[in-house]
Structures are given as C-alpha cells and as structure tokens.
Amino acid sequence: MQHIDFELRGEFITLDSLLKATGLAESGGRARMMITEGQVQVDGQDESRKTAKIRAGQVVGLHGVRIKVLADPSGA
C-alpha cells in the first residue's frame, strides 16, 4: 500500500480537491466521478460527498493508496 502525507494549507480541503492535489485524479471531474462511484473512503467509511471537508488527522483511502492529512505547518 502506498502512503502519502498531505499538509493542509488552512483549516480543511474538499475531498475532490485533495484527490486532484495528490495526483490521484487528473482532474476535478475525474475526482468527483471516483467519489460518486464509491471508490473513496474517509477514515475507513465510504464517502459519497464530493465536497466533504477533510481536516487534519483524517485518512483518505483509494485503490491501495492511503492519504494521511496533516495539520497546516504554519498554524493557519
């Protein structure tokens, strides 16, 4: 399983934006399709909300990839 650490820039990032920012989806449209198709889990639970707010400490899973969301290092 591949692990990605993603540092937030602010309080949260939407799920579709996170998939695009980490390169797991080549576009926002593709990210939204992956979420709609039930391919994405947040903290081990299927997530169907495309714009779910992902915050520090949460883990997003997709096709053998695990993204750990880290707090904004600047403290913003």
Q: What is the pLDDT of residues 11-70, one digit of tens each?
A: 999 999 999 999 999 999 999 999 999 999 999 999 999 999 999 999 999 989 999 999
Does 74 score more than 80 pLDDT? no
Looking at residue 31, its pLDDT comes to 97
Looking at residue 26, its pLDDT comes to 96
Does 75 score more than 70 pLDDT? no
CATH 1.10.760.10 fits 2-70, yes or no: no
The whole model's pTM is what? 0.92
Secondary structure E strands in the chain: 2-7, 12-14, 40-42, 45-46, 53-55, 59-62, 65-70
Looking at residue 76, its pLDDT comes to 58
